[in-house]
Chain A
Amino acid sequence: MAITEQDVQASEDAPSVNYLNNGYGLKSWLLTKDHKRIAVLYIISISIFFALGGLFASLVRFELMTPEGDLMSSDTYNKVFSMHGIIMVFFFLVPSIPATIGNFLVPIMVGAKDLAFPRINLLSWYVYVVAGILGTIAVVGGGVDTGWTFYTPYSSTYSNSNVILAAMAAFMAGFSSILTGLNFVVTIHTMRAPGMTWFRLPLFVWSHYATSLIMLLGTPVIAITLVLLMLERGFGFGFFDPNLGGDPVLFQHLFWFYSHPAVYIMILPSMGVMSEMVASVARKRVFGYEFVAFSSVAIAILGFLVWGHHMFVSSQSTYAGMVFSIITFLVAVPSAIKTFNWTATLYKGSIVYDTSMFYVYGYLGLFLVGGLTGLFLSSMGLDIHLHDTYFVVAHFHYIMVGGQVMGYLGGMHFWWPKITGKMFPDIWGRVSALLVFLGFNLTFFPQFILGYMGMPRRYHVYPDEFQVLNVASSLGASILALGYLVPGAYLTWSIFKGPKAPDNPWGAKGLEWETTSPPPTFNFEETPVVTEEAYQYGPIEEH
């Protein structure tokens, strides 16, 4: 793909100084301006929140094993599912891929020494950490019971929990993602290496560009919404309180104006990961590169015009509902383009059945189900039956967990040798992908049926006939948890005991595979010059 001074075999006599061993003290990490070290800091911090959010998820699944509410009271249950949602959405899913793998790879993939604003990048991590601490205080100090959506009047008139603190935490986490998005947009515009034209960019970069646009355009709106909410709670300004002249439905409009685009923040980055992995495992150029690139931008744009589909039953006018419904169907088109094009890339590809391939297959299957069930929910008539049931819960978990978390894990495996310079045992990688895939389906597929049968979300007491499916779901959740713990174990093991990784263990294309593993502090010995398009896999590859 590009010409650098380095030979492929350079790892043997690679320079001994890389970004990991260039300074060991705590200060060298906490004051670093290196995007790769900041990515590592992010990996550690979001893992902590993933574990915390997972803990709350386990409590939910424990409680739902029996029809009676015997493990906790209704109030406690409200807090448990709210904290699960708030932590997972704002502190894990939104930063998951962009702040970690994206932070690590975007500058390397465009051939730059660093992001455009390294200090702002570090600032975004500190803002995230402070937000995380505030969020944790909100949890420890009694929790929040509004659901992750902070709907008024749960969060205003009838709130008796730490809403202001949690809203402040979400506000600051949003600010951190604005800073990340801003850095990406500027870096992709101005820092591309000589010869790296827009249509030579890896699709990972395109999807991060689209994600960054959403972060820049959407996140400020949730920020102002939470400011309005805090003004109402703190000072008695009645923006959303009918007694004070306000309208609670306005909160829903403002909230979803951000939060619907935000669900694309929680899927677009994983689509970028998939494009890279599909090309590598099939040893082919991604089919219809331009279509995949533009479908990311199309998703980002259309994503801003569909928020009303969360409010089909919130006194929205039927005509507004129809428009939102039609545009929602349209969003499925760019998502389908991606899925078809990945499949077409695999067709007649020279497929390698390694960990990456397992994650690609798993992702395709889960995203397909998640995407198609979205169409059920965008049909206005059907949505009246399915609204606020477990069908919705299952749908968005198929996208967010089946999509983004699968993409995050897959990407972590794919670029693990680059990030750490160590190889993980491939057999365990395949086992973990299988565990996640099986555990996930067993957890969430029964929830589609439960929802269709009429089990509402956010209730912890349910009729006896729902128990079998709920127990199946809880069983699946334990397998899923195992699927997350196993990679945690062997990836950590590989850091200390794993064999040293070569520069390009998968024989993949892309600038990141042409530098050393792990890369030097400024990524390349010399600024690379790009002379060909992305994914120029040769007819025969030595592997």
Chain B
Amino acid sequence: MADHALHHDDHPHGLAHQFEDMPQQKESAVIGMWSFLITEILFFGGFFATYLIYRSYYPEAFFEGSSHLDIPLGAFNTIVLIVSSLTMAMAVHKSHEGNKRGILVYLTLTGILGLTFLVVKYFEYSAKIEYGLVPGLAWHPHGENSPQLALFYSLYFGMTGMHALHMIIGIGLLIWVFVKAAQGTYTAEYNAPVEIFGLYWHFVDIVWIFLFPLLYLLGLQAGGH
């Protein structure tokens, strides 16, 4: 293509050919990520709507199902994600200063916290499989059994599974941003990728903030464990 014509001397580092200047490029990136997050809200919204409808149909089964979830592990994971949001925000802050070392340190912390979350989730899922609480695949609950209980667990696995998938994609993106940062790509002027990745990471955290009470804490209402 005719890109060569554009690479004249005053062309700022990191500015793509279609933009006039850096502020325009950054504004586009940020609006683009917000628009994408709106689609994500609608996407998870389908799950939340399904949850709300069936919970209002079958409150007892949902309390019962929820009381089998491990609140301490869920609470631990909630704290892990909230702290990871803090470290992510710090990484974005450091990127505004163009502080390469700061970005790398905080991205590493964020990544470790994200992986911690997934490891805990793995142990939770394994326990559910062991107790036969996976609808369709391994369904032989010890206590009460009803299609409505299975529905709760379908939603549990659907919602937390979709969230975990977003976490895995997030960690993949994190590695990519980390590599770019290590190469010294990000400066005080050009740091939009760190910033919009931060938006994504916060969004995935916020989804969990909703999932935790809806799925785990609901059982407390029925009289606890």
A contact set with B: CB distance below 8 Å: 17, 22-23, 28, 32-34, 112-118, 178, 182, 185-187, 189-191, 216-221, 223-225, 227-228, 231, 235-239, 243-247, 250, 254, 521-522, 527
Contact = CB atoms under 8 A, between A and B. Distances in A.
A190 B25 CA distance: 8
A112 to B, nearest CB: 7
Contacts of B41: 220
B158 A237 contact: yes
Interface stretch (B43-51, B101-109, B183-191): B43-51
A38 B108 CA distance: 38
B24 interface: yes
A220 B146 contact: no
B35 interface: yes
A254 B49 CA distance: 9
A235 B18 contact: no
A117 B1 CA distance: 17
Contacts of A33: 1
B32 A186 contact: yes
B86 to A, nearest CB: 28
B136 A237 contact: yes
A521 B17 CA distance: 11
Contact of B150 (A189, A245, A254): A245
Contacts of A185: 31, 35
B70 interface: no
A237 B135 contact: yes
A65 B13 CA distance: 66
Task: Name the residue in A28, A178, A527 with the highest tally of chain B Cβ atoms < 10 Å from its Cβ.
Answer: A178
B127 interface: no
A231 B159 CA distance: 11
A245 B39 contact: no
B38 interface: yes
Contacts of A522: 2, 17
Contacts of A245: 54, 58, 61, 146-151
Contact of B135 (A116, A191, A221, A235): A235
B28 interface: yes
Given A23-B1, A189-B31, A245-B148, A221 B24 contact: no
Contacts of B149: 245
Contacts of A115: 18
B31 A114 contact: no
Contacts of A247: 53-54, 57
Measured as residues with beta carbon below 8 angstroms from the partner, the interface class of chain B is 35 or more
A221 B147 CA distance: 25
B157 interface: yes
A34 B18 CA distance: 10
Closest 9 CB pairs of A and B: A236-B136, A224-B46, A245-B147, A237-B154, A220-B43, A245-B151, A114-B18, A220-B42, A116-B28
A244 B136 CA distance: 10
A22 B147 contact: no
A190 B24 contact: yes
Contacts of A254: 46, 49-50
A187 B27 CA distance: 11
B20 interface: yes
Contact of B147 (A32, A223, A243): A243
A246 B151 contact: yes
A239 B150 CA distance: 10
B42 A217 contact: yes
B197 to A, nearest CB: 15
Contacts of B24: 190-191
Interface string B1-35: 11000000000000011111000100110011001
Contact of A235 (B19, B46, B54, B137): B137
A32 B2 CA distance: 11
Nearest to A244: B147
Given A34-B1, A521-B2, A244 B151 contact: yes
A175 to B, nearest CB: 9
Task: Name the residue in B1, B20, B49, B147 with the highest tally of chain A Cβ atoms < 10 Å from its Cβ.
Answer: B1
Contacts of A239: 50, 151, 154-155, 158
B120 interface: no
Contacts of B147: 238, 243-245
A232 B154 CA distance: 9
A244 B150 contact: yes
Contact of A216 (B35, B151, B162): B35
B123 interface: no
Nearest to A224: B46
B20 A527 contact: yes
Contacts of A17: 2
A236 B135 contact: yes
A113 B17 contact: yes
Nearest to A119: B16
20 contacts: A114-B17, A118-B16, A182-B39, A186-B31, A186-B32, A220-B40, A221-B45, A224-B46, A224-B47, A228-B50, A236-B135, A237-B158, A238-B150, A243-B147, A244-B147, A245-B58, A245-B146, A245-B149, A521-B2, A527-B20
B27 A190 contact: yes
A227 B27 CA distance: 32
Given A236-B135, A239-B50, A522-B2, A221 B43 contact: yes
Contacts of B16: 118
B76 interface: no
B36 interface: yes
Given A114-B18, A227-B162, A250-B50, 6 more contacts: A22-B2, A116-B32, A182-B39, A239-B155, A246-B54, A247-B54
Given A114-B17, A521-B2, A216 B50 contact: no
B28 to A, nearest CB: 4
B125 to A, nearest CB: 14
A112 B18 contact: yes
Contacts of B50: 228, 239, 250, 254
B162 to A, nearest CB: 7
